[in-house]
Amino acid sequence: MPPLPSNLAMVPFVSVEHMMGLVHHIGIERLLQDLAAEIENDFKRWESFDKTPRVASHSPVGVIELMPTSDGEMYGFKYVNGHPKNTKEGLQTVTAFGLLADVDTGYPKLLTEMTLLTALRTAATSAMAAKHLAPKGAKCMAMIGNGAQAEFQCLAFKAVCGIGTVRLYDIDPAATEKAARNLAGSGLTVVPCKSSEEAMEGAEIITTCTADKQNATILTDNMVGPGVHINAIGGDCPGKTELHRDILLRSDIFVEYPPQTWVEGEIQQLDEDHPTTELWQVVTGQAEGRKDARQITLFDSVGFAIEDFSALRYIYRAIQDTGFYADLDLLADPDDPRDLFGMLTRAKA
Ligand SMILES: NC(=O)c1ccc[n+]([C@@H]2O[C@H](COP(=O)([O-])OP(=O)(O)OC[C@H]3O[C@@H](n4cnc5c(N)ncnc54)[C@H](O)[C@@H]3O)[C@@H](O)[C@H]2O)c1
């Protein structure tokens, strides 16, 4: 019998079951508020992070991406896919998992599911951005695209921005029914709609969160009136956008990390010298967010590694002293660090 793995071999692993338990233990709205605050704090120290556009492997039907970053103390990465055709095959569009490691030793400190955590962090980031960019006192949001991310977005806007009404639209009425059912009892007034135009009636915030592997036009220019904030989530790959170019030309555009957003975001439709503002500069007060009531603000979200890092570190802290993880025998730990082969040999039955 080989000896049992040592403590050094063990890495906390948060399974999907544990993540769901943790979310309910903390409370989903409180967790979304906490995550928004964590992400905002990390945006305030943006310059202390290593930054690189995510590493994307494209195929005709989807993309698989690795998203690394480090603040010099911890290192994190996420594996994530995006396959819009998947739901037709009974699979999800987006799945993810991620890892947090100690920079000093290089040893992993956490391995976790991130499919749920991605939905939570994306919603928290959107709401944090809207806190800085949306019209003051906004109460109504149009939610276009009612798939996996939708309810998370709606709840984050309620918890962080005080939204009271969501107007739902999806080309597939079954998705709208699902989202309306899930949001019943949330405290939000939920209005299922039959078109994007109907969903946008009276909305001060418009979230687009659709999945399609093409340059789609979810919003056309004539649909967008002055003064709204657009939270565009679904356009996040080369050749995969949601907004008509003319909307971009009328908007003040805010982005996460420009070298990534120019490749993946709505702004891939624009000339490279078109002005954009980095969200972290708004968060730190170095750049202006919303200037006036008639301005259209657009958060051209693609999802950046620092948001995942914030989420990983939050989960790492949150699981301490709880039962919401299992120790995983992830690291080989030979008695003599240089005798890896000996450890293998001695394990032979
Ligand atoms: N920016 C980010 O950080 C971030 C994070 C996660 C996901 N995403 C992206 O968000 C999008 C949605 O993700 P999901 O997990 O909810 O996907 P999903 O497949 O579960 O849901 C997408 C929904 O969009 C609907 N849809 C497609 N075309 C539409 C149209 N023309 N009008 C209205 N609805 C339409 C579909 O019917 C579906 O219900 C994906 O493109 C994904 O890549 C972005």
Q: Among the atoms of ligand 1, which is closest to the Cα of residue 92?
A: 20
Tell if the pTM clears 0.95, that is, is over it. Answer: yes
Give the residue carrying structure tokens 């259209």.
296
Q: Among the atoms of ligand 1, which is closest to the Cα of residue 302?
A: 1
pLDDT for position 7? 87
For ligand 1, the distance from its centroid to the CA atom of residue 145, given in whole angstroms, is 6
pLDDT for position 214? 84
Q: Is the pLDDT of residue 318 over 90?
A: yes
Interval 134-144: pLDDT, tens:
999 999 999 99
pLDDT for position 8? 87
Q: Among the atoms of ligand 1, which is closest to the Cα of residue 169?
A: 33
CB 194 near ligand 1, within 6 Å: no
Active site residue ranges = 236
Q: Is the pLDDT of residue 1 over 70?
A: no
C-alpha distances in Å from residue 7, one per residue of 243, 250, 323: 51, 57, 17
pLDDT for position 52? 98
Interval 64-86: pLDDT, tens:
999 999 999 999 999 999 999 99
Q: Among the atoms of ligand 1, which is closest to the Cα of residue 307?
A: 3
Of the residues 80, 149, 167, 260, which should be mutated to test ligand 1's pocket, given the most ligand atoms within 8 Å of the CB? 149
Give the residue carrying structure tokens 């009892």.
185
What is the distance, to the nearest Å, from the Cα of residue 246 to the centroid of all Cα atoms in its chain?
Answer: 26
What is the mean predicted confidence (pLDDT) over 179-208? 97
Sheet strands side by side (includes 96-102): 55-59, 62-70, 74-82, 96-102, 108-113, 10-14, 326-329
d(CA 266, CA 243): 7
For ligand 1, the distance from its centroid to the CA atom of residue 108, given in whole angstroms, is 32
**pLDDT cut 70: percent of the chain above it:** 99
Where b means 16+ CB within 10 Å and e means fewer, 83-116 reads bbebeeeeeebbbbbbbbbeeeeeebbbbbbbbb
pLDDT for position 106? 97
CA-nearest residue for atom 37, ligand 1, is 172
CB 62 near ligand 1, within 6 Å: no
For ligand 1, the distance from its centroid to the CA atom of residue 83, given in whole angstroms, is 10
Please state, rounded to an integer, the average pLDDT across all residues of the chain.
Answer: 96
CB 146 near ligand 1, within 6 Å: yes
What is the mean predicted confidence (pLDDT) over 267-277? 97
Apex 152 CA angle, 232 and 290, nearest 5: 40
CB 215 near ligand 1, within 6 Å: no
For ligand 1, the distance from its centroid to the CA atom of residue 147, given in whole angstroms, is 6
DSSP secondary structure string, 122-158? Answer: HHHHHHHHHHHHSPTT--EEEEE--STTHHHHHHHHH
Q: Per DSSP, which regions of the chain are E strands?
A: 10-14, 55-59, 62-70, 74-82, 96-102, 108-113, 140-144, 165-169, 189-192, 205-208, 215-219, 229-232, 241-243, 251-255, 277-278, 296-300, 326-329
CA-nearest residue for atom 39, ligand 1, is 147
For ligand 1, the distance from its centroid to the CA atom of residue 104, given in whole angstroms, is 38
Least confident of 158-167, 211-220, 283-292: 211-220
What is the distance, to the nearest Å, from the Cα of residue 340 to the centroid of all Cα atoms in its chain?
Answer: 39
CA-nearest residue for atom 15, ligand 1, is 148
For ligand 1, the distance from its centroid to the CA atom of residue 170, given in whole angstroms, is 10
Q: Is the pLDDT of residue 131 over 70?
A: yes
CB 311 near ligand 1, within 6 Å: no
